[in-house]
Amino acid sequence: MKKLLRYGKYGSNAGVLIIAFGAILVIGYLVIMNHTKIWDLTKASKNTLDPKTINVLKSLDFDVTIKAFLPEGGEAKQSKDVLDLYKYKSDHIRYEIIDPDVKPNIAKEYNVERYGQAVLIGNNRKEPVGYVAEETITNAILKLKMKKQKTVYYITGHGEKDVNNAQREGGSFLRDSLVQSNYTVKTLMLVRGVPADADLVILAGPEKPLFSDEVSALKKYLATGGSLFVCIDPQKDGGIKDILSDYGIILSGGIIIDKYGRMMGGDYMMPVVNLYGGPFQGFQYATIFPGVRALEIKEGSEMNVQWLARTSDQSWAEMNTSLMEKEGVVNPDGKDKTGPLNIGLLAIKPLGKDSAAKIVIFGDSDFVSNNFLLVAGNKDLAMNSISMLLGDKDLVIIEKKASGDQPFVITPIQGMVIFWIPIVVVPLLILGAGIAVYFVRRRG
Amino acid sequence: MYSVYKKEMYLYFSSPIFYTVAFIFVLINGFFFYNNIAYFSMMAARMAQYQMSAGVGVSEMVVSPLLREMGMIILFILPILTMRLYSEEKAHGTIELMFTYPLRDIEILLGKFFASLSVVTIIFLITLIFVSLLGFMTTLDWGIVFSCYLGLILMASSFLSLGIFASSLTKSQVIAAISAFGLILIFWIVGWFATVIPNTVPGKVLQELSLLSHLDSFLQGMINLKDMAFYVFFSAFFLFVTLRTLESHTWRG
């Protein structure tokens, strides 16, 4: 009985001490967790947000919830790492990683079509992004912050991709994507001129050329700092060749053929594009352009023209399209320009201090049709182009941080060293030391 | 404390256990190291072809995975290093003697703890030879290397505190080793349960409790105060519990 009492007394004493100590540690940990500090030791500061992002976060005055749709795994981990950096820098940021396979209804509610997409919610708005990366998230936060809803005018009347057509050849998916990104979309009969509230005009694949009145209306609009997103299919010029030329853009003839970089099962005239430049450097997805023409930057033009997307160096622009129709497969000859060929360009003409006329052009309009918009990274490329044109000076470009290390391929001799020293020499030395110690001890 | 530390260090280096453990550990990691480099070399060649080599370097592709694998292997070998610490004294009856030392329990405990931590650190540093070898062949991001090793040592200290606690419970070294293994494994896999119930409070608690989840930031080249605090607090807690267990000898009679 006495022993039991003693056990009870000391035992409960120890128990209380352990619980108290544990509680202190837990509280301490929670405090540190919410006021943690991170030191980034990498050479290239890979784990640090860009100063541009930090500025955006500093001026954030509403809460932003980020819902990223990813299944458990490596990519979810990567997205989580990026989002953690945002959370660390701002108390306004919260995030959730949602597995779209486990919670399909939530995924559906936010129109998630693909793994990796995310939706930012804040300021009574929603802003979808194609994938989680510093650039997409920061720009999406900026868009949530913007006060006014932007208006996009879509030119009709010349056989453009029809935004009211939900069939394969239509353009309704493009309109839906624009609406999802909080833009107001209106169709436009250009004869009446471009309305004053237009933030962007889209001309997607005119079959017939624009009338001269329409061309001058467009010209006037651009001259007042307008933005134009234009897709011109091969062998067509939409009647705006001269405008484009003024902005340093030349529509080349022919159609691009790429025997290697084509889509699996697709034909030669459907190049897969993996090269991105200018503001799109670091764009993550391949894009597919069914029947695309090349674009050239006019030499000696004082405009600021940058290439956005290019086909591979295996591609060429086939000029002899009638022969191609007759014989099917052709090979490049002396008349054909060889790749890499520009298929997307950005032209900027500064007008005074704060304004500029901007054109983004692609040599194909099928890539924004319902048939191809959701294929590979097409939608992201189109939407990035549009938000770049609309976002004017607010949106930021953040370059993907490269590793501080150099590329490295081992030579056979280095391979030998890496094999022998770690797997044979060092372990044997340890074993030898152990045996030596054993014998010394036995003798001693 | 220092005299206990010295004694334990001597015991470690004069026993075959240390050499066996170090041999196996280094051999396995040497193999992993070679494998990682061969894989990276292949990937680098392939990525250069597709012009997407930006963003991945040797440090992230070879060193971080190597240290992650080391973290996995120490799960199996650290219980072997700690099983002896108190169990042997109990089995030999020297623990009674120990209580009569003019040293406080905490000093003995810390002496043993830091001795085992030093031994583990030495084993880790042997693998640094491999990494340096790579450093001669190409440029390494030594910031990442440093944070990786720091994280691994901190995680190992949590493992050791669990091992020492297990050793203080029993006089059988085998039981001590197995229970240490079990304890570490439990705190290792709680993170897996967390992934089953994401975005919930219990899920988050389990995630925070997981020994492995706090290593990630270190492996990416970051030192996150929160993760550092976790390992230190975790070790401190189990050393404290060990101390209370040892104290119970005095009143259990």
How are beta strands A184-188 and A227-231 bridged, if at all?
Answer: unpaired
Residue matched to tokens 């500064």 = A350
Residue A44, in any domain of the structure: no
**Structure tokens given for A316:** 């060429």
- A115 near A69, Cβ under 8 Å? yes
Amino acid sitting at position A166: A
Number of Cβ within 10 Å of residue A252's Cβ equals 18
A150 contacts A184 by C-beta, under 8 angstroms: yes
For residues A170 and A138, is the Cβ–Cβ distance under 8 A?
no
Mutation target to probe the A interface, by most A beta carbons within 10 A, among B40, B64, B144 is: B144
Give residue A6's pLDDT: 75
Closest CA to A388 of A285, A301, A283, A318: A283
Using the beta-carbon criterion (under 8 Å), do B53 and A407 form an inter-chain contact?
yes
Contact A365, A289 (CB under 8 A): no
Residues A81 and A109 in one domain: yes
**Is the domain of A106 the same as that of A163?**
no
**Listed residues A142, A172, A188: the one ending a domain:** A142
Q: What is the pLDDT of residue A399?
A: 61
Shared domain check, A305 and A163: yes
The interface predicted TM-score of the complex, written ipTM, equals 0.88
Of A142, A163, A195, the residue at which a domain comes to its end is A142
Nearest to A66 by CA among A51, A48, A85, A49: A85
CB A13 within 8 A of CB B251: no
- The whole-number pLDDT of residue B51 equals 46
Of the partner residues B23, B44, B216, the one whose CB lies closest to the CB of residue A427: B23
Higher-confidence position of B197 and A21: A21
* C-alpha B142: how far from chain center: 21
Residue A95 lies in a domain: yes
Tell me the one-letter amino acid at A423: I
| DSSP symbol at A117 | -
pLDDT value for A259: 74
B133 and A418: CB-CB below 8 Å?
A: yes
Q: What is the pLDDT of residue B160?
A: 96
Residue A234: asked if its preceding bond is cis (omega within 30°), the reply is no
Catalogue the E-assigned strands of A90-166: 93-98, 118-122, 125-129, 151-155
Tell me the residue range of the domain where A13 lies.
1-36
B232 near A CB under 8 A: no
The reply to whether B100 touches chain A by the CB within 8 Å rule is no
What is the crossing angle of helices A426-443 and B16-49, to 10°?
180
| Closest C-alpha to B3, from B91, B97, B114 | B114
Domain count, chain A: 3
Which of the two residues, A16 and B200, has the higher pLDDT score? A16
Report the pLDDT averaged over residues B137-160: 93
Cβ–Cβ contact A419 with B under 8 A? yes
Residues A192 and A323 reside in one and the same domain:
yes
CA B166 from chain center: how many Å?
Answer: 15
Q: What is the pLDDT of residue B247?
A: 82
A427 within some domain: no
Mean pLDDT of B6-24: 91
Residue A116 and residue A235 share a domain:
no
Q: Which residue bears the tokens 């705190």?
A: B187
CB A184 within 8 A of CB A151: yes
Per-residue confidence (pLDDT) for residue A441, from 0 to 100:
84
Query: What pLDDT is stored for residue A396 in this prediction?
Result: 64
- Predicted TM-score (pTM) of the model is 0.70
- In angstroms, the Cα distances linking A339 to A128, A257, A275, A290, A293 are 34, 9, 11, 17, 12
Percent pLDDT > 90 in chain B is 54
pLDDT for A427 equals 92
A138 and A156 belong to one structural domain:
no
DSSP-derived secondary structure letter, A211? P
Same domain, A383 and A318: yes
**What is the C-alpha separation between B115 and B236, in angstroms, rounded?**
16
Give the pLDDT confidence score for residue A264 in this predicted structure: 57
Enumerate residues 388 to 417 of chain A having a beta carbon within 8 A of any beta carbon in chain B.
400-410, 414-415, 417
Shared domain check, A91 and A20 = no
Contact at CB, B144 and A274, closer than 8 angstroms: no
> Domain for residue A404, yes or no?
no
- Which CATH number goes with the domain that contains A63? 3.40.30.10
Q: What is the CATH number of the domain that holds A177?
A: 3.40.50.880
A294 domain residue, yes or no: yes
Sequence-ordered strand ranges (E) for chain B = 222-224
Length of chain B: 253
Q: Is B197 on the interface with A (CB under 8 A)?
A: no
Per-residue tens of pLDDT for chain A, all 444 residues: 677 777 777 778 888 999 999 999 999 999 999 888 999 998 878 888 888 888 888 888 899 999 999 887 778 888 888 899 999 888 899 998 888 888 889 888 888 888 888 999 988 888 888 888 887 898 888 888 876 778 999 999 898 988 888 888 888 889 888 887 778 899 998 888 899 889 899 999 999 999 989 999 999 999 988 899 999 999 888 889 889 998 999 998 888 888 776 655 566 778 888 889 888 887 777 888 888 999 999 888 778 899 999 988 888 888 877 777 666 667 777 778 887 899 999 998 888 777 888 999 999 999 899 888 888 788 888 988 888 888 644 666 666 666 656 666 678 888 888 889 989 999 999 999 999 998 888 886
A178 & A136 share domain: no
- CA B13 – CA B163 distance, rounded (Å): 19
B86 φ, ψ to 5°?
Answer: -105, -30
Average pLDDT, chain B: 88
Identify whether A197 is part of a domain. yes
Out of A81, A116, A142, a domain closes at A142
Q: A417 lies in a domain?
A: no
pLDDT value for B53: 44
- Residue A151's DSSP bridge partners are A184
Residues 14 to 53 of A: which have CB under 8 A from any B CB? Answer: 14, 17-18, 21-22, 25, 28-29, 32-33, 36-44, 46-47
Determine the pLDDT at residue B79.
Answer: 93
Q: Is residue A231 part of a domain?
A: yes
Distance CA B234, CA A335 (A): 73
Residue A362, CB-side half-sphere exposure with 13 Å CA sphere: 29
A259 lies in the same domain as A156: yes
Task: Give the pairing of strands A342-351 and A355-362.
Answer: antiparallel
A209 and A159 co-located in one domain: yes
Does B95 have pLDDT greater than 60?
yes
Written as one letter, the residue type at B133 is: L
B59 interfaces chain A, CB cutoff of 8 Å = yes
Do residues A268 and A347 both lie within one domain?
yes
